[in-house]
Chain A
Amino acid sequence: DAGVIQSPRHEVTEMGQEVTLRCKPISGHDYLFWYRQTMMRGLELLIYFNNNVPIDDSGMPEDRFSAKMPNASFSTLKIQPSEPRDSAVYFCASSFLPNQPQHFGDGTRLSIL
């Protein structure tokens, strides 16, 4: 079975540009999570969805970040405008139930110059 699929794997762009990260969760998983990982702050939850509805977005850094889940098989995390401090690895994960294991994608390594 396919796992969580993220694209792109790497993104390098200049400050001020819009960045869109994409995620396809495992089929049948009702929960989708977006994380950011940095050396300084570790792995932080940004937002999570249940049945395509955002449940908790308290981890979203600021208004420059937005996330959508238009259907059960697709989600996006958008940064506009991007800043160098947004450079990190962004992970998407999905799970069947909230207390079940989360399955992570391989991440998007984002570099903002």
Chain B
Amino acid sequence: TQLLEQSPQFLSIQEGENLTVYCNSSSVFSSLQWYRQEPGEGPVLLVTVVTGGEVKKLKRLTFQFGDARKDSSLHITAAQPGDTGLYLCAGNGAGGTSYGKLTFGQGTILTVHP
């Protein structure tokens, strides 16, 4: 059972375009994290959101946690080729599972063409 549905699975855009990646679940999470992974490397944390409705910005990246703490989005403004990679959302402590146990979405493979 996939607790976290991430969409789209693939995204191919031109440099300068904006994009949004979505992460949805029927479960409530105590917190949600976004990671970025490059080929041959492990995921690297971008941000953690904890409070329902929370918005965090990291340069051109904007992260939002849904009011009910069941969904999240990642918006990238004016994408650049350096943004290319696999983006993963991960929920912590879903549905009463062990606190600290992360459930990952399937990931979004983003390709930004020059």
Contact = CB atoms under 8 A, between A and B. Distances in A.
Q: Is the A/B pair a real complex? A: yes
A43 B2 CA distance: 11
A68 to B, nearest CB: 19
Contacts, number: 59
A99 B43 CA distance: 16
A101 B46 CA distance: 9
Interface in B22-50: 30-31, 33, 40-45, 48
B43 A101 contact: no
A85 to B, nearest CB: 19
Interface of A: 4, 31, 33, 42-45, 48, 50, 55-56, 91, 93, 95, 97-99, 101-107
Interface of B: 30-31, 33, 40-45, 48, 88, 92-93, 97-107
| Nearest 10 A/B pairs, CB to CB | A98-B100, A104-B42, A101-B45, A43-B104, A42-B106, A56-B98, A98-B99, A104-B43, A91-B42, A106-B41
